[in-house]
Amino acid sequence: MKNSNILKDGNSIEFKTGAWRARTPSHSKEKCKNCMMCVPFCPEACIKQEDNILVGIDLDYCKGCGVCSKVCPFGAIEMKDNND
Amino acid sequence: MPYSLKEVVKKQNRLVSGHRMCAGCGAPVTINAVLRALKEEDNAVVASATGCLEVSTCIYPYTSWKNVSFIHSAFECASATLSGVETAYNSLKKQGKLSKDKETKFIAFGGDGGTLDIGLQSLSGAMERRHNITYVCYDNGAYMNTGTQRSSSTPHYADTTTSPAGKVTQGKVQPRKDLTEIMVKHNLPYVAQTALFGNLKDIYEKAEKAIYTDGPTYISALSPCPRGWGYPSEDLAAVSKLAVDTCFWPLYEIENGVYRVTYKPAKKLPVEEFLKTQKRFRHLFKEENKGLIEEIQQEVDKKWEYLLMMEEVTNKQKEE
Amino acid sequence: MSIRERLSGNEAVATAMKQINPDVVAAYPITPSTEIPQYFSNFVANGSVTTEFVPVESEHSAISACIGASAAGSRVMSATSSQGLALMFEMLYIASGLRLPIVLIVANRALSAPINIHNDHSDSMGVRDAGFIQLYCESNQEAYDNTVMAVKIAEKAKLPVMVCYDGFITSHSVENITLMENEEIQKFVGTYKPEEYLLDETRNISMGPLDMQKYYYEHRKDIADGMREAKVIIEEVSEEFAKVTGRKYDLYEKYKLDDAEIGIVVLNSTAGTAKDVVDSLREKNIKAGLLKPRAFRPLPYNELPNELKHLKALAILDKSDSVNGYCGPLFSEITSAMYSSGINVKTVNYIYGLGGFDVKADDILEVYNNLQEIAKTGKVDKTTYYLGLEDGGEK
């Protein structure tokens, strides 16, 4: 039936928003204590963890807002200007 | 079982990547924090008022809503629309057309404009009719989707594009309308005010209570907006914390009329600490506007004392 | 088997709704349709229906709740009039835009200002472009029958349907009526099986997205095409209905029209008055006839002109005014259909009965007398008349 319903839930992952970034987070595995604070604070829900081990930040979607870098208690995420 | 950030982050995100909210927006963080309170196996239907959230998370052919069904109808009737969905659920369940063991929750999200202003009647009606729904207002203090126009929830003296700081008037002339208290007067089983604070324990526990309390429940959640408030996008957590630590945005809940302040700052900061981080209040730091900050401080203190008093009075009543 | 009864229009429609036993009814009181939520609340309270009733706080919320319930996958009905329908305006476009088969009963009543609780068609005419199928009914029998058919039409066409009948004249007047048996109706409407709905346990879906230009344009055409396809669906459902009840409905009713020389087009209860006038004229060998549209949305733009092309003079009666400085909506739509079909009949427009102003047989007779003049002289000196007003309208 032709209409405006969207039948595939969560299919916005097919739409990459990473190009919005003017700066990019870099996650340091050494400094990271896997405290998980950054994970729920990411507006894009694109910081991945597996069994409380921080896997990484999915740059396909990260818009470079920097929330994770500021919320991290251990300075394990640094924002770098894209054209640095 | 007590809140554990580590356990909670293992739960699925029901608002997934690929949406078009601004970088650093508080709304998607708030929505995921609330929806994380759903049991993994529970289904939900989410209704949204027109607003930043809706037009950024459901752009045909894409939807960011995962493991929940989503409906947007119009700006002022998320509550009425969702009350229709919930009524259909009751009807189909009674007829045995929906499986007995599956639980579906009904959650509406609206911005402050869509909730306190244009949507207030629809919200009040749905709550008064005791539909088993949870309404969450992600309150960013203005009509952000249309570019920061003032709403009834815009803070006193805040600069917006329709209550600008000028020579004659200094931002929004009226104090903020307090919807949380209006909802308390609807005698709901559960009302709460929360924010993105600390390790998100407050918002998770309140969302859980609201969703899993039978009957109509309401949550006001502070949802900072870097563009509309004028602060660097990375300061989402810091700005939220200042809003809470200055008691500009107190964290409290009301269960069947009994108040409980869920966070009392060890050191209550002057509201100035919160105001100075945002461009929308910059004009208040001019010499001639000094008195206005004092006025805001009095309003904050008055509300804070009211809450402490209500906590004491209503708990005593409960014990009697 | 059928049941002989005497019911008002509202009672008849409420009875149809009871026999249909929809999953959800959300309604708000407004004269003259109030009796429907009243009767229905009674059915709910006494368990003669299993419907969930939502006593909403406004008509805007009535249709919004209907949208939510229908989108969720349940069969939904409501009723309103006049200002209530006007308040629903925004949501009517959304109900049709989401292809939701909601059935909305409209007891037609004048629109403010000034406020007036009596009958005319300004309310349903005011939302004629909102994407609802619109069926117009002359009597309580037609209101009852169209309500039953509307459920099936809506669910097949995947478009909401408005069943319109005249406030007070039909809604509050008791007439003889033949009712169907409950089982007949239950069998006729069947159980609602939505394809895409929010409470589908096999998948989660999203409804009501933002569309950008291209998608929006395509989706809006889909909706308009849905209205085009609805014509055949109305005919099919009407045939099925005729098999069950013996009462045959087409897209419109012709009354002594085929051999007529002068004719009028008129909606709803006034057609009853006009038929008596046609009969009296026929007794005097004056070949008068009448056409009463049933479906106004979709407009049978092909069929109507062909039914009228043989007339020497035609009057189109509008119980609403487009306030375009020219004419009423029925006149503008039917004459434009005639024009596109290359059919040219001397046609005049009578705006009449606004706000429930009485329309007596003599008034209708005056129309036919004017048509006889036009037929004789072939001259139309004035296009728009206001029937029954001293100055006759156009200065």
Which of B6, B17, B144 would you mutate first to test chain A, the one with the most A CBs within 10 A?
A: B17
Q: Does C222 reach chain A within 8 Å, measured CB to CB? A: yes
Among candidate residues C193, C210, C245, the one where a domain is terminated: C245
Among candidate residues C210, C245, C280, the one where a domain is terminated: C245
Alpha helices, DSSP H, located in C246-340: 270-283, 303-308, 329-340
How many helices (DSSP H) and strands (DSSP E) are in chain A? 2, 4
| Measured distance CA(A44)–CA(B24) in Å, rounded | 9
Neighbours of C272 (CB within 10 A): 16
Are C170 and C88 part of one and the same domain? yes
Among candidate residues C198, C214, C245, the one where a domain is terminated: C245
pLDDT exceeds 90 at position B52: yes
How far C59 CA lies from chain A's nearest CA (Å)? 25
- Residue-wise pLDDT for B97-130, tens only, equals 999 999 999 999 999 999 999 999 999 999 999 9
C-chain residue closest to A8, CA distance: C205
| Measured distance CA(C188)–CA(C150) in Å, rounded | 11
pLDDT exceeds 60 at position C394: no
Which of C58, C96, C210 would you mutate first to test chain B, the one with the most B CBs within 10 A?
A: C210
Give the one of B74, B90, B102 whose C-beta lies nearest to C94's C-beta: B74
Q: List, in sequence order, every residue forming a beta bridge with B62; answer none if it has no partner.
A: B59
Burial status of residue C208 (CB atoms within 10 A of its CB: 0-12, 13-18, 19 or more): buried
- Residue-wise pLDDT for C9-35, tens only, equals 999 999 999 999 999 999 999 999 999
Closest by Cα among B186, B181, B207 to B124: B186
| Measured distance CA(C295)–CA(C151) in Å, rounded | 15
Neighbours of C56 (CB within 10 A): 26
Are C229 and C265 part of one and the same domain? no
Burial status of residue C2 (CB atoms within 10 A of its CB: 0-12, 13-18, 19 or more): middle
Q: What is the 3-state secondary structure (H, E, C) of A10-41?
A: CHHHHCCCHHHCCEEEEECCCCCCCCCCHHHH
pLDDT exceeds 80 at position C56: yes
Residues 6+ apart with CB under 8 A from C243: none
- Residue-wise pLDDT for B271-318, tens only, equals 999 999 999 999 999 999 989 999 999 999 999 999 999 999 999 998
Q: What is the mean pLDDT of residues B245-258?
A: 97
Q: How confident is the model at residue B157 (pLDDT cuts 50, 70, 90)?
A: very high
Q: What is the 3-state secondary structure (H, E, C) of B291-304?
A: HHHHHHHHHHHHHH
Distance separating the N- and C-terminal Cα atoms of chain B: 29
Q: How confident is the model at residue B1 (pLDDT cuts 50, 70, 90)?
A: confident
Q: Does B55 reach chain C within 8 Å, measured CB to CB? A: yes
Are C229 and C313 part of one and the same domain? no
Tokens representing residue C109 in the block: 């009543």
Q: Which chains touch B (3 or more CB pairs under 8 A)?
A: A, C
Tokens representing residue C30 in the block: 């407004």
pLDDT exceeds 60 at position C167: yes
Burial status of residue A1 (CB atoms within 10 A of its CB: 0-12, 13-18, 19 or more): exposed
Q: Does C213 reach chain A within 8 Å, measured CB to CB? A: no
pLDDT exceeds 90 at position C321: yes
Q: Cβ contact (<8 Å) for A43 and B24?
A: yes
- Residue-wise pLDDT for C237-249, tens only, equals 999 999 999 999 9
Which of C195, C196, C206, C227 would you mutate first to test chain A, the one with the most A CBs within 10 A?
A: C206
Q: List, in sequence order, every residue forming a beta bridge with C55; answer none if it has no partner.
A: C27
Q: Which chains touch A (3 or more CB pairs under 8 A)?
A: B, C
Give the one of C99, C205, C211 whose C-beta lies nearest to A1's C-beta: C99
Q: What is the mean pLDDT of residues C171-188?
A: 98
Are C291 and C241 part of one and the same domain? no
Give the one of A12, A21, A52 whose C-beta lies nearest to B19's C-beta: A12
How far C17 CA lies from chain A's nearest CA (Å)? 27
Residue whose tokens read 């991945």: A48
Tokens representing residue B234 in the block: 């990375």
- Cβ C125 vs Cβ C324: under 8 Å: no
| Measured distance CA(C56)–CA(C29) in Å, rounded | 9
Give the one of C57, C201, C207 whose C-beta lies nearest to B102's C-beta: C201
Q: Cβ contact (<8 Å) for C219 and A4?
A: yes
How far C100 CA lies from chain B's nearest CA (Å)? 12
- Name every chain A residue with its beta carbon within 8 A of the beta carbon of B23: 20-21, 43, 63-65
Which pLDDT score, from 0 to 100, does residue C395 have?
Answer: 47
Are C293 and C234 part of one and the same domain? no
Is there a cis peptide before residue B61, judged by omega within 30 degrees of 0? yes
B14-45 in b/e burial notation, b at 16+ Cβ within 10 A?
Answer: bbbbbbbbbbbbbbbbbbbbbbbbbeeeebbb
Residue ranges with strand state E in chain B: 43-48, 58-59, 62-63, 69-71, 104-111, 134-139, 190-194, 217-222, 252-255, 258-261
CATH number for the domain harbouring residue C52: 3.40.50.970
Give the one of C158, C203, C211 whose C-beta lies nearest to A7's C-beta: C203
Are C128 and C240 part of one and the same domain? yes
Q: Cβ contact (<8 Å) for B68 and C204?
A: yes
| Measured distance CA(C50)–CA(C74) in Å, rounded | 13
Q: What is the mean pLDDT of residues C217-222?
A: 98
- When divided into structural domains, chain C yields a total of 2
Residue whose tokens read 């894409």: B62
What pairing do the DSSP bridges indicate for beta strands C288-293 and C252-255? Answer: antiparallel
Q: What is the mean pLDDT of chain B?
A: 97
> Is the C-alpha dihedral spanning C8, C12, C15, C17 positive or negative?
negative
Q: Does B90 reach chain C within 8 Å, measured CB to CB? A: yes
Neighbours of C281 (CB within 10 A): 21
Burial status of residue C323 (CB atoms within 10 A of its CB: 0-12, 13-18, 19 or more): exposed
Closest by Cα among A75, A71, A27, A79 to A49: A27
> Is the C-alpha dihedral spanning C117, C122, C124, C126 positive or negative?
negative
Domain range enclosing C104: 2-245
Give the one of B23, B62, B238 whose C-beta lies nearest to A64's C-beta: B23
Domain over A29-81 is classified CATH 3.30.70.20: yes
Q: Does C202 reach chain A within 8 Å, measured CB to CB? A: no
Are C82 and C214 part of one and the same domain? yes
Are C311 and C173 part of one and the same domain? no
Are C235 and C266 part of one and the same domain? no
Give the one of B63, B199, B226 whose C-beta lies nearest to A6's C-beta: B63
Which of A1, A2, A4, A15 would you mutate first to test chain C, the one with the most C CBs within 10 A?
A: A4
> Is the C-alpha dihedral spanning B162, B168, B169, B170 positive or negative?
positive
Burial status of residue C318 (CB atoms within 10 A of its CB: 0-12, 13-18, 19 or more): buried
Q: Does C99 reach chain A within 8 Å, measured CB to CB? A: yes
Are C239 and C272 part of one and the same domain? no
Burial status of residue A66 (CB atoms within 10 A of its CB: 0-12, 13-18, 19 or more): buried
Closest by Cα among B130, B94, B136, B133 to B115: B136
Q: Which helix (H) or strand (E) holds C177?
A: strand C175-180
Q: Is the ipTM of this complex over 0.90?
A: yes
Are C203 and C264 part of one and the same domain? no
pLDDT (tens, 9 = 90+) of chain A, 84 residues, equals 689 999 999 999 999 999 999 999 999 999 999 999 999 999 999 999 999 999 999 999 999 999 999 999 999 999 999 987
Are C135 and C211 part of one and the same domain? yes
**Residues 46 through 75 of chain A touching chain B, CB cutoff 8 Å:** 46, 49, 51-52, 58, 60-61, 63-67, 69-71
- Cβ B240 vs Cβ B196: under 8 Å: yes
- Name every chain B residue with its beta carbon within 8 A of the beta carbon of A61: 17-18
- Name every chain C residue with its beta carbon within 8 A of the beta carbon of B102: 201
How far C136 CA lies from chain A's nearest CA (Å)? 27
| Measured distance CA(C285)–CA(A28) in Å, rounded | 100
Q: What is the mean pLDDT of residues C304-328?
A: 98
Tokens representing residue B278 in the block: 């945002």
Write phi, then psi, for C192 (nearest 5 degrees): -75, 125
| Measured distance CA(C383)–CA(C395) in Å, rounded | 12
Q: List, in sequence order, every residue forming a beta bridge with B104; answer none if it has no partner.
A: B43
Residues 6+ apart with CB under 8 A from B65: A9, A10, B14, B15, B46, B57, B58, C204, C206
Q: Does B72 reach chain C within 8 Å, measured CB to CB? A: yes
Is there a cis peptide before residue C113, judged by omega within 30 degrees of 0? yes
How far B15 CA lies from chain A's nearest CA (Å)? 7
- Name every chain B residue with its beta carbon within 8 A of the beta carbon of A20: 23
| Measured distance CA(C367)–CA(C363) in Å, rounded | 7
Q: Cβ contact (<8 Å) for C215 and A4?
A: yes
Which of C61, C88, C197 would you mutate first to test chain B, the one with the most B CBs within 10 A?
A: C61
Q: What is the mean pLDDT of chain C?
A: 97
| Measured distance CA(C137)–CA(C289) in Å, rounded | 19
